[in-house]
Amino acid sequence: MTLNRSWLLASRPDGPVKQDDFGYREEAFSPPDLAAGEIFVATRIFSCAPTIRNWLNPPGRSYRGAIGIGDPIRGMAAVEVVASRHNDFAPGDLVTAVAAWQDYTVLAPDKAAVPITHIPAGIDVADAMTIYSPNTLTAYFGLLAVGEPRPGMTVLVSGAAGSVGAMVCQMALIAGCRVIALAGGADKCRWLEETCGVEIAIDYRLPGLADRLKEACPDGIDIFFDNVGGDALQKGIDQMAPHGRVVLCGQISAYDTGQPAPGPADMMKLVYGRIRMEGFVIGDFADRYEEAYSRIRAWHRAGKIRCRVDMREGFSALPEAFVDLFQGKNVGTLLVRNVRPK
Ligand SMILES: NC(=O)c1ccc[n+]([C@@H]2O[C@H](COP(=O)([O-])OP(=O)(O)OC[C@H]3O[C@@H](n4cnc5c(N)ncnc54)[C@H](OP(=O)(O)O)[C@@H]3O)[C@@H](O)[C@H]2O)c1
């Protein structure tokens, strides 16, 4: 008998998510009898990803299904297999999976919408959630497969100091592009310029964003990798070069408003500019992950990409950490390390 703690959806946020929208439950718990094909896992590290906010909306408003009231929150996590009735998983294996915000969960790998993936030997669990995580793959395929950068192009990245954005900036530099970054606050902008090597990082919260973008991109933007949407999307589109492309990765500025994400104001700008806008979801590239990881490993070992990690400690930290995402209070990839009660 052990304790299983859970964070549940207590109420649907109608606007900014609050810590009170999460409910806490703990219950005495015995390892369950597994059905064939199931694994029983203990959670080591939770990833606080903005897209979870979309799953808190009423049904019909997100790519994956809505979380029910009273149900555990779910998200990407690094977990350790405790017991298994699946031939590909053994006790002690470390894997990444979409799992409940709980100490312990039962998963069915063959039915999982997102593949449950072994963390390769020699890769640290925290690295599997940061530099070798789906966010790095998102940057890789969004930039290289959708954006198709070429040397000398000007690339604008919004949400640039975040988990996906910082990787996009560094990969665009590897591709030989000029990189202009948008981020909130002087510290994030300084880190982007001094550590990641972007040419100009603009604090989008200060006035005059349109003028500063025009000054930074006098010949226009060839590729705009947009994580944010809203005002950033509009100002970026206003400055696109002819035949430019906008990679639609996410719309975080709308997630916490309770409203659908708005599009650009004047579609004729895209017509006259022959601009392509294309959304993507990372799962579309699952059959190419190995190719991506081998290049990401080489870049990492060569010191060409680095990750800023905001690791919070303890299960109780989850709701506050999640709310911080929408106030820009995370400094890099936001993770919560689980510390299980003895
Ligand atoms: N398409 C896909 O398959 C895929 C996969 C993974 C992630 N994504 C998307 O990628 C984006 C970034 O995710 P991430 O995990 O890397 O998060 P993140 O950037 O590490 O963290 C979120 C950051 O977004 C910024 N932000 C929050 N609210 C904002 C607002 N109202 N306006 C402008 N910026 C705001 C804040 O940075 P500042 O301090 O700079 O404002 C905050 O630190 C999200 O839109 C996510 O949904 C897409």
Per-residue pLDDT of 285-330, as tens digits, reads: 999 999 999 999 999 999 999 999 999 999 999 999 999 999 999 9
pLDDT at 318 (0 to 100): 98
| Ligand 1 midpoint to CA 83 (Å) | 35
| Ligand 1 midpoint to CA 30 (Å) | 38
Judge if the beta carbon of residue 49 lies within 6 A of ligand 1: yes
Average pLDDT of the segment spanning 211-218: 98
Residue type present at position 42: A
Non-local CB neighbours of 9 within 8 Å, separated by 6+ positions: 21, 22, 23, 56, 67, 68, 69, 70, 71, 72, 73
% of residues, the chain, pLDDT over 70: 99
What domains can be seen in the chain, in order of their start residue? 2-128+307-337 (3.90.180.10), 134-283 (3.40.50.720)
Non-local CB neighbours of 271 within 8 Å, separated by 6+ positions: none
Q: Is residue 68 scored above 90 in pLDDT?
A: yes
pLDDT at 183 (0 to 100): 98
Residue type present at position 219: D
CA distance 158 to 148: 17
| Ligand 1 midpoint to CA 255 (Å) | 10
